[in-house]
Chains A and B, each alone.
Chain A
Amino acid sequence: MIRTYLTKLWPARFHLAIVGLLVGASLISVTLFRLRTMMSGGSMDYIFLLWNLFLAWLPLIMAYAVSSFASRRRYVALTVLPAAALWLLFFPNAPYILTDLFHLRHPRPDVPLWFDTLLINWFAWTGLLLGIVSLFLMHNVVRKAFGRIAGWIFVLIVGTLCSVGIYIGRFLRWNSWDVIFHPVARLGDILHYAANPSLQSIMFIAVFSTLFIFIYVSTYSFGLLLQEQQKPK
């Protein structure tokens, strides 16, 4: 019984390892947050990190849903497209945690600075890596369906859209679900901002999308580098 499970799971062991690692990292992050509340005598600073980490998990779950829908090859258009749209809507939440580093500018007196740095580092890297893994899953779906070049174009577009999303979330303070609940009002707002972009928004989106795409590409080529090293010479 156990053996059949093991043989079934073995080909996907690195997927499982990654999910396990991300779960572990989330648990450690939550533990660190708990330690912080204890150390500071019950201060609830940084509680938003927990919420942001929860939001960062959503796109990974959706990306897994998309890739399993896509491999089933039935009702592909009906299942994949809505799931992919939802994924795109929630995807910016994962790298969004990186911008929580903003809060380090105002150090809190009740806890040493290095501890807060550590805390936000854990949360930010977990969120960032959740984003990279979910983008990889989607990239793979696109690559299988439309080819390699289309896959990389997809990464470039998503990288840019995601920094637009982060800008909207950080500076305009909207949430992913606003698009679902108030579609008309939000669409009007977005059109308004897109028609008169501020210098800040252009700069932020340009620099941040370069950063994010760079992070993804370097992770990806690092992965290929490991494979290259393992070939017998």
Chain B
Amino acid sequence: MNLNRIRNFTHRNRHNIAVFILLNLACAACITLVGARVVYTDSTRHSGLIWNLFLAWIPFILAYIAHAMSWKRLWVYLAIPFVAFLWLLFFPNAPYMLTDLQDLARGAGRDAPLWYDVIIVVWCSWTGTLLGVISLYLMQDIIIRTFNRWLGWVFVFAISGLSSFGVYIGRFVRLNSWDILQNPAETAMVILGIVIDPSRRLAAFTFAYTLFFLFIFVLLYSFSHMLSEQAALTGSSPEQLASTQPTQAVN
């Protein structure tokens, strides 16, 4: 009886579980690659990536918590704003991994082959980006169910813009997510100073990375709908066909 329920649950959520396991495997792979490099070369280069990867997990977990709570109407108004605020604070850590590629330019350390370093960085940034995309998707789903589809996409656009700004702050001003919790007044002043007097670099960087993250998000979103579209076009698997619902593409 109980076993049956567990089996049912895992079957219903099997893709959720698959993605979760895949992400864990990816992290294990990144840690192994970095660990092998540290052991082999006696330099701790790229170990910062592991820390960044850990930070990228935080918004993912927060989004899951929010998504699980959002099934109860009351919780949506009481607890979710708080979780969503924390989520927003930590979310830029996920797309931040995309800019870690520039660590390759720090010339020191020719002790490991270049291709190995490139693979480490690519793997970490892919994992971080995927964590970000999934957590943003979960939050968008809450908005769509509570309000409507339009607002969901407005939310995605706004968050992409804000998170690119956050990545800029992390990359060039070197502030961390928790600075705003530790000394809010000081950090707010710093950020305000940047916003009032934006440099061209800030504008270009934020704009380009907003577009970039949106491109990745919308493409992965369309890709997943293409999976069911393909099934509907060819009628290959009735199970997938059944789950096809009318949805809208936004591009």
A105 to B245, CA, bound (A): 47
The verdict on B4 contacting chain A, using a C-beta distance below 8 Å, is no
Given the complex, which residues of A lie within 8 Å of B220, measured CB to CB? Answer: 219, 222-223
User: Which secondary structure characterizes the binding site on chain A?
Assistant: helix
| A102→B226 contact, CB < 8 A | no
| A18→B226 contact, CB < 8 A | yes
The verdict on A118 contacting chain B, using a C-beta distance below 8 Å, is yes
Q: Knowing A214-B29, A222-B130 are in contact, say whether A101-B171 is a contact too (CB < 8 A).
A: no
| A11→B232 contact, CB < 8 A | yes
Count how many chain A residues have C-beta atoms less than 8 Å from C-beta atoms of the other chain. 67
Given the complex, which residues of B lie within 8 Å of A25, measured CB to CB? Answer: 215, 219
Binds A, one of B44-52, B76-84, B116-124: B116-124
Partner of A104, one of B104, B230, B233, B240: B104
A122 to B210, CA, bound (A): 12
Name 15 interchain pairs, CB-CB below 8 A, sorted by A. A12-B233, A14-B225, A17-B251, A21-B218, A21-B222, A101-B122, A113-B102, A114-B99, A117-B99, A117-B101, A136-B227, A200-B113, A211-B126, A214-B25, A227-B228
The verdict on B238 contacting chain A, using a C-beta distance below 8 Å, is no
Report B123-140 CB contacts with A as 1/0, cut-off 8 Å. Answer: 100100010011001000
A193 to B158, CA, bound (A): 52
Given the complex, which residues of B lie within 8 Å of A13, measured CB to CB? Answer: 229, 249
Given the complex, which residues of B lie within 8 Å of A32, measured CB to CB? Answer: 208
Binds B, one of A47-55, A82-90, A153-161, A202-210: A202-210
A107 to B106, CA, bound (A): 9
User: Which secondary structure characterizes the binding site on chain B?
Assistant: helix
| B133→A222 contact, CB < 8 A | yes
CB closest chain-B residue, reference A204: B115
Within 8 A of A (CB), among B208-251: 208-209, 211-212, 215-216, 218-230, 232-234, 236, 240, 243, 245, 247, 249, 251
A99 to B218, CA, bound (A): 24
CB closest chain-B residue, reference A118: B208
Binds A, one of B15-23, B53-61, B180-188: B15-23
Q: Give the top 8 A-B pairs by smallest Cβ distance, nearest first.
A: A223-B224, A226-B224, A224-B15, A17-B249, A117-B102, A14-B225, A104-B104, A225-B15
| A14→B105 contact, CB < 8 A | no
| B122→A211 contact, CB < 8 A | yes
